[in-house]
Chain A
Amino acid sequence: MIALADPLPERVRRGASGIVGTIVILLAWELAARALAGAYILAAPSDVVVHILQNSDLIWRALRETLGNATLGYVLGNLAAIGLAGAALAWPRAEPVVAGLALLVFCLPLVATGPILRVLYGPGPGPQITLAALAVYYTTFVPLLVGLRAAPASWFELLRSYGRGRLAELVHIRARASLPYLFAGLQIAAPAAFLGAMVGEFTGAERGLGLLAIRAIRALDIAGIWALASISAAVSILIYTAVGWLSRAVLRDPPPMILAPPALPRTGHAQGLAATVMRTAFVLAMALLLWWGAMTTFDLNPFFAKRPDDVWVALFTATDARETRETLAGALGETVVFLLPGFAGGLALGAGLAILLTLAPALTPSATLIAVALRSVPILTTAPLIVLLLGRGAAGTITLVAVMVFFPTFVACLHGLRQAPGQILDVFSTYAAGPFARLWHVQVPVMLPAFFAAARMSVPASVLAVTVVEWLATGRGIGSLMALSASLSDYDMLWSSVVIVSVLSALGYAGIGWVERRVLTVFASEQVAR
Chain B
Amino acid sequence: MVANTDNGASPDIQCRSLTKAFPGNVEVLRPLDLEIAGGETTALVGPSGCGKSTLLRLIAGLETPSAGEVLIGGVSPAEMLRDAGLAVAFQDPSLLPWRSVRGNIELALKLARRPADPRAVEDLIRLVGLEGFADTRPGALSGGMRQRAAIARSMVTRPRLLLLDEPFGAVDELTRRQLADDLPPLWEKRQTTTLLVTHSIGEAVLLSDRVLVLTPRPAEIIADIRIELERPRAPAVTGSTEFRRLVEAVSEALAEGVRATKPPLAAQ
Contact = CB atoms under 8 A, between A and B. Distances in A.
A161 B96 contact: no
Contacts of A149: none
B81 interface: yes
A172 interface: yes
Contacts of A176: 96, 98
Interface stretch (B3-11, B82-90, B117-125, B249-257): B82-90
Interface in A142-183: 152, 154-155, 157-164, 168, 172-173, 176
B94 A162 contact: no
B90 A162 contact: no
Contacts of A172: 96, 107, 111
B94 A157 contact: yes
B85 to A, nearest CB: 8
Of the candidates A152, A163, A176, the one having the most CB atoms from chain B within 10 angstroms of its own CB is: A163
B62 A161 contact: yes
A1 B25 CA distance: 61
B94 A155 contact: yes
A158 B82 contact: no
Nearest to B112: A162
B193 interface: no
Contact of A161 (B83, B88, B92): B88
Interface residues of A, number: 15
B96 A173 contact: yes
Given A162-B157, A172-B96, A176-B98, A154 B111 contact: no
B160 to A, nearest CB: 13
B60 interface: yes
Interface string B201-222: 0000000000000000000000
Contacts of B96: 155, 172-173, 176
Given A152-B94, A172-B111, A163 B87 contact: no
B141 to A, nearest CB: 16
A160 B112 CA distance: 10
Contacts of B84: 162-163
A159 B157 CA distance: 13
B86 A161 contact: yes
Max chain A C-beta neighbours (<10 A), residue from B62, B83, B84, B94: B94
Contacts of B92: 152, 154
A85 to B, nearest CB: 20
Interface in B144-184: 157
B18 interface: no
Nearest to B63: A157
B44 interface: no
Contacts of B62: 157, 160-161
A154 B107 CA distance: 15
B64 to A, nearest CB: 12
Interface in B53-105: 60-62, 81-84, 86-88, 90, 92, 94, 96, 98
Contacts of A152: 92, 94
B108 interface: yes
B153 to A, nearest CB: 9
A160 B87 CA distance: 10
Nearest to A161: B88
Nearest to A179: B98
Interface of B: 60-62, 81-84, 86-88, 90, 92, 94, 96, 98, 107-108, 111-112, 157
28 contacts: A152-B92, A154-B92, A157-B62, A157-B94, A158-B88, A158-B90, A158-B94, A158-B111, A159-B111, A160-B61, A160-B81, A161-B60, A161-B61, A161-B81, A161-B87, A161-B88, A162-B81, A162-B84, A162-B108, A162-B111, A162-B112, A162-B157, A163-B82, A168-B111, A172-B107, A172-B111, A176-B96, A176-B98
Interface of A: 152, 154-155, 157-164, 168, 172-173, 176
Q: Which 7 pairs from chain A and chain B are nearest by CB?
A: A162-B111, A163-B81, A154-B94, A161-B88, A163-B82, A162-B84, A162-B112
